[in-house]
Amino acid sequence: MTDLKNDRYLRALLRQDVDITPVWMMRQAGRYLPEYRALRAEAGDFMSLCQSPELACEVTMQPLRRYNLDAAILFSDILTIPDAMGLGLYFETGEGPKFERPLQTRSQIAALPTLDPLVDLAYVTQAVSTISRELAGAVPLIGFSGSPWTLATYMIEGGSSKQFSKIKKMMFSDPQSLHLLLGKLADAVISYLNAQVDAGAQALMLFDTWGGVLSPDCYRFFSLDYMQKIVEGVTRESRGRRVPITLFTKNGGQWLEWIADTGCDAIGIDWTTDMAQAKLRVGHRVALQGNMDPSMLYANPSEIEQEVQRILAQFGQGRHGHVFNLGHGIHQDVLPEHAGVFVDAVHRFSRAYHG
């Protein structure tokens, strides 16, 4: 086992002492970096980057060369599982991901194959292994997946949606079919994440991007229950270390107590949730990740620093279990220098909170 030179991210997720608050950024490897844009142009398209372990490794490493980040996250896409199930993922310029064969009937759902991640998603597990070797223990590597509910929205809607009318129609008119799909996806996500851990990932994250479009009862039954199944099914110890798992539901701040009850190690929160209130509500049960508005990186450097200080103060003195992050992914037109200001500010100003 390669010893980690910097394990403060893992320690913070487990609510242990750290010298400074760890920080990373959702979508830290991506379009805001000119070196990423150059590599994508060379590769030809987004999926060519994802499906090449060597290129995925290069993209993963790019932000770590620029910034003093405390974690790397696998460069991939949340829709790799539905793509491997044969739905025909493709990307339209300016419109995001789409599927050629969206799900419309129970028979289509029943016919979805059971995935072997070492075969059907071998390019992902190979990328994890390649990145792990390249990191050589510098910082932990985060593996991830989309949540079953979020994957199902794309698979039924056929792409991004504003109203989610197709999946909600199934949810209310044929819930048994939707539960069949969500169960299949939960099993696939468990296998997928465990394969990432076997390949070298040291922490896991579930992105529930669209859980926040649900009512409380529907969130619990159609999203959270399946995330809890994943929490209970994934590998939690590997290579002599705990493998922490973080759940992130965008616009899910009203359900923090429910999320904490799943047994996860940490909850990601967005900027619509007050950090101090979140801490009061979950106590010491879980760590918290977040939660600066990504648009704050459009501000001038002094204002970015002030916002970092404000969020650190909200979390509080002498408390364990904070991973600083943006409340969602970094925007593609943010100046890379402003991201650097953000990362440096977290480290500089958080030292006072860790005696």
Predicted confidence (pLDDT) per residue in 195-230, tens digit: 999 999 999 999 999 999 999 999 999 999 999 999
**Rounded to 5 degrees, what are φ and ψ at 117?**
-60, -25
Q: Is 124 left (phi over 0), alpha (psi -120 to 50) or beta?
A: alpha
pLDDT digits (tens, 9 = 90+) for 228-279: 999 999 999 999 999 999 999 999 999 999 999 999 999 999 999 999 999 9
Q: Is 328 annotated as a binding residue?
A: yes
Residue 29 labelled as part of a binding site: yes
Residue 262 labelled as part of a binding site: no
Q: What is the pTM of this model?
A: 0.96
pLDDT at 160 over 90: no
d(CA 161, CA 190): 26
For the segment 37-48, the average pLDDT, to the nearest whole number, is 92
Write the CA distances from 191 to 47, 148, 161, 197, 235, integer angstroms: 22, 13, 28, 10, 10
Which residues belong to the active site?
Answer: 27, 31, 40, 77, 154
Query: What beta strand segments (E) does 168-235 contain?
Result: 203-208
Q: Decide if pLDDT at 1 tops 50.
A: no
* pLDDT tops 80 at residue 93: no
Yes or no: is domain 29-271 CATH 3.40.50.80?
no
Residue 294: closest CA among 26, 68, 21: 26
| Alpha-carbon separation of residue 262 from 38, 195, 267, 351 (angstroms) | 41, 22, 10, 31
- Whether 114 has a binding-site annotation, put simply, is no
Q: Which two tokens stand for residue 349?
A: 């100003």
Residue 98 CA neighbour count, 13 Å, CB half: 8
Name the pLDDT band for 318 (thresholds 50, 70, 90): low
Q: What are the extents of the domains in the chain?
A: 29-271
Condensed to tens digits (0 to 9), the pLDDT of residues 321-341 reads 999 999 999 999 999 999 999
* Separation between Cα atoms, residue 146 and residue 205, nearest integer Å: 8
Asked if the model's pLDDT at residue 99 lies above 70, the reply is yes
